């Protein structure tokens, strides 16, 4: 397995920008009193999550990353990649478990499959 992903799929950059604006906006509030300084933790956590969370595509596996930790899913264990009603994609595994692929949507699913070297199924619309 290569050490670098073929494709990195992340949430919209708008979330990252909004978290950065919220962080800058809370600095004056937190600076007014030590008791309010924990308020900075909320936009900071959202900023780190927006930067880190997503799905990395490797030729032989997917790595789903969250704020803390992540999951490695070999393509051999994935039986189906299916979008839900909101367009978010989940992977159905051979043991019946379902893992939501952070950042992967119905629109960018073909890019994920192409980057992994797996063909788009005949049932694709």
Whether residues 39 and 62 share a domain: the answer is no
Whether residues 17 and 45 share a domain: the answer is yes
What CA–CA distance (Å, rounded) separates 97 from 62?
A: 15
Low-confidence stretches of the chain (pLDDT beneath 70): 1-2, 119-125
Measure CA 35 to chain center: 33
**Domain containing residue 58:** 54-125
What pLDDT does residue 4 have?
85
Token pair 């989940």 is at which residue? 90
What pLDDT does residue 125 have?
41
Domain count, the chain: 2
What pLDDT does residue 20 have?
93
Whether residues 88 and 73 share a domain: the answer is yes
What pLDDT does residue 7 have?
87
What CA–CA distance (Å, rounded) separates 73 from 122?
A: 23
Q: Is residue 1 part of a domain?
A: no
């Amino acid at each position: 397995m290569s050490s670098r992903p073929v494709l990195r799929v992340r949430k919209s950059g708008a979330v990252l920008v909004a978290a950065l604006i919220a962080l800058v906006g809370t600095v004056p509030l937190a600076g007014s009193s030590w008791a309010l300084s924990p308020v900075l933790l909320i936009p900071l956590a959202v900023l780190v999550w927006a930067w880190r969370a997503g799905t990395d595509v490797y030729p032989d596996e997917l790595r789903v990353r969250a704020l803390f930790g992540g999951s490695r899913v070999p393509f051999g264990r994935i039986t189906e990649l299916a979008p839900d009603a909101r367009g978010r994609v989940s992977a159905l595994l051979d043991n019946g478990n379902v893992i939501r692929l952070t950042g992967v949507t119905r629109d960018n699913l073909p890019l994920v499959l192409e980057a992994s070297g797996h063909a788009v199924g005949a049932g694709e619309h």
